[in-house]
A and B are shown apart, each in its own frame.
Chain A
Amino acid sequence: MLLNFLDELRKAGIRASLKEHLTLLEALDSDVIERRPEEFYYLARATYVKDEGLLDRFDQVFDKVFRGVFSELGEKQASIPEEWLRAVTEKFLTDEERAAIEELGDRDEIMETLRKRLEEQDEEHHGGNKWIGTGGTSPFGHSGYNPAGVRIGGESRHRRAIKVWEKREFANLDSSRELGTRNIKVALRRLRRFAREGAAEELDLDATIRGTAKQGWLDIRMRPERHNAVKLLLFLDVGGSMDDHVKVTEELFSAATSEFKNMEFFYFHNCLYESVWKDNSRRWGERVPTWDLLHKFGHDYKIVFVGDAAMSPYEIAWPGGSVEHMNEEAGEVWLQRVVDTYPAVAWLNPKPQRTWEYSQSTQMIRQIMGGRMFPMTLDGLDDAMRELSRKQG
């Protein structure tokens, strides 16, 4: 049962391992908790989940496994098993309700109707993991139905026991961001450039010896420690065709924020124009002029664009070509300014490399970038980082 739980957690993208599993067993063994379902739930949660963004997913999996019934977490279930339907009616309907159903006709017919009703609902609400409440007219129960569980009929004893995770209090924390950012981080590490900056707190042995020899007394010299001094400016394309690539972009973003101390990011749509923004919910209100960026961030910043470069060629080449606003200068002028200002520029494209040649806009941008467009795969990222860390003339 518990191993099954671990499997389900992993399937749902919670990266629990045997280590956590053993810890849980150890905890159960040493009677950390009282033998109540809530306590077990809390313990399992503290053991398996290490990211508050995944708490909601954990609640769903917990619900699914410990009700022992199918749910449609992520994938749509193929069919509703017969035993399950039977269990539903037998376990959770009161006598009156069963009598009411009996009136509908014979048992097989009821099952068929129930199955149909369930399937209809499943299709209508396809993709959601939410409870589906029908609340009322159906003869199959009065407080609704949910595909993950079996709550037909109002008061079952399960309901009381499972209420904590059923509440799914952490629903709004789920960023649906995968944890698999480790290898991206490793790739980004190529971009480390160590430099001595900040407080002098390391003994500089060579300078001390030299100083001592020169002065005739002990002359301690200190120097700042080496840090990753790479400065990164990230421009992220959002909206439109980029919606398909949200996940991989989020991974990259999350890895980059934890890897670089000096990182700034801005959003744009399709092509870079005279202004960018930092907060997508206020993209019309709070814009930053691109000129300001060019002036503010020194030439030692490395520029990374993330975008699929898929747009109409007009959006790049013509003033007023932007799909969203009236741009006085063409996108290519702005891109060219960035390329001219910063020696280290790369464009990461989440689209597969083989598709690039079929898109005119991709070709144009690639040309502006001086060929420095890389696919957003680990290899591509590796190449891009190598390009960025190349000694600039």
Chain B
Amino acid sequence: MTQRFNGTENYVATDDLKVAVNAAVTLRRPLLVKGEPGTGKTVLAHEIAKAIDAPLIEWGVKSTTKAQQGLYEYDAVARLRDGQLGDERVHDISNYIRKGKLWEAFTSPQLPVLLIDEIDKADIEFPNDLLQELDRMQFDVYETGERIVAKERPIVVITSNNEKELPDAFLRRCFFHYIKFPDDETMREIIDVHFPGIQKRLVTHALEVFYKVREVPGLKKKPSTSELLDWLKLLLVEDMPLDVLQSQDPTSAIPPLHGALLKNEADVMLLERLAFMARRENR
């Protein structure tokens, strides 16, 4: 039995997240994590691995990723070439079978954490194609007639950005957790973890500005936790005097170093326009 996950020194886990992680770890069912970009979905897998001291196997999914690639790939072209060149290796087909991430996870000597990152990027059939493999934790290699069975069910963490809906049959097999945007209290904890000993007043002012920016209607990409952390780091590096942040309403003046918070020129313009209008009204 692995120990319980309680967050780590670099990661603040809320109670509901802990329960979901512990359930997934204990029962060895995949944990599906959703949430706004930048709320720490991918980092979660890293931290789980760190917390239970397990190796992390990362499988980043792209739009061209096929489920089969997670199991294994048979490099027929290399074999064909070797065959032409008269290479000895050609007689053993297993020389041309490349292990995928799932295979790696199944045969890992130590219980691993397998991260399937951004599963929604792939084709809609992708999750369905992995159903059996994730459920039974075994698959066949047709080229060699081998059956790969997981020695121990790996801990699987799956993240999704909600670009596509996932099939019901797939969802039924997972635990689900939605990382909601951290509230003020959790955010302070998170900041504390990342910047120990940071000035309380700086955090208060920065958070004020941050939440106000988030509330501006019509932003294309709302800044999230990771942007806030970047911004704070910049503020610290630049040694920004406190009074610049103080009494700063983002609708009346653009926050300093806004480049870390807003990643979209349309958003910056929107904020500038709001600031301009606010100044005109105040006059």
Contacts and interface: CB of A to CB of B under 8 A. Distances in A.
B168 A218 contact: no
A15 B124 contact: no
Nearest to B4: A32
Interface in B156-185: 164-168, 171-178, 180
A263 B170 CA distance: 25
Given A23-B29, A26-B27, A259-B124, A17 B180 contact: no
B23 A218 contact: no
B15 interface: yes
A42 B20 contact: yes
A46 B177 contact: yes
Contacts of A51: 171, 176
Interface in B63-85: 64, 76-77, 80-81, 84
Given A254-B165, A259-B124, A199 B64 contact: yes
B19 interface: yes
A220 B23 contact: no
A49 B20 CA distance: 12
B26 interface: yes
A181 B164 CA distance: 12
Contacts of A33: 19, 22-23
A26 B34 CA distance: 24
A233 B61 CA distance: 28
Residue from B164, B168, B173, B178 whose CB has the most chain A CB atoms within 10 Å? B178
Contact of B23 (A19, A27, A170, A258): A27
Given A32-B27, A52-B34, A55-B178, A46 B20 contact: yes
Contacts, number: 80
Contacts of B173: 19
A47 B80 contact: no
A220 B75 CA distance: 13
B23 A46 contact: yes
Interface in A291-332: none
Given A30-B27, A33-B19, A179-B168, A50 B174 contact: yes
A181 B168 CA distance: 10
B175 A47 contact: yes
B32 A50 contact: yes
Contact of A47 (B23, B164, B166): B23
B15 A38 contact: yes
Contacts of B165: 181, 254, 258
Contact of A39 (B19, B27, B64, B164): B19
A46 B18 CA distance: 11
B61 to A, nearest CB: 16
B16 interface: yes
A82 interface: no
A182 interface: yes
A43 interface: yes
B23 A52 contact: no
A39 B23 CA distance: 11
Given A19-B173, A50-B176, A258-B124, A45 B16 contact: yes
Given A27-B27, A46-B20, 4 more contacts: A23-B29, A50-B32, A203-B76, A258-B165
Interface of B: 15-16, 19-20, 22-24, 26-27, 29, 32, 34, 64, 76-77, 80-81, 84, 124, 164-168, 171-178, 180
The 4 A-B pairs of least Cβ separation, nearest first, read: A42-B19, A50-B171, A46-B20, A52-B178
10 contacts: A27-B26, A27-B27, A32-B26, A33-B22, A42-B16, A43-B19, A46-B24, A50-B166, A50-B171, A258-B164
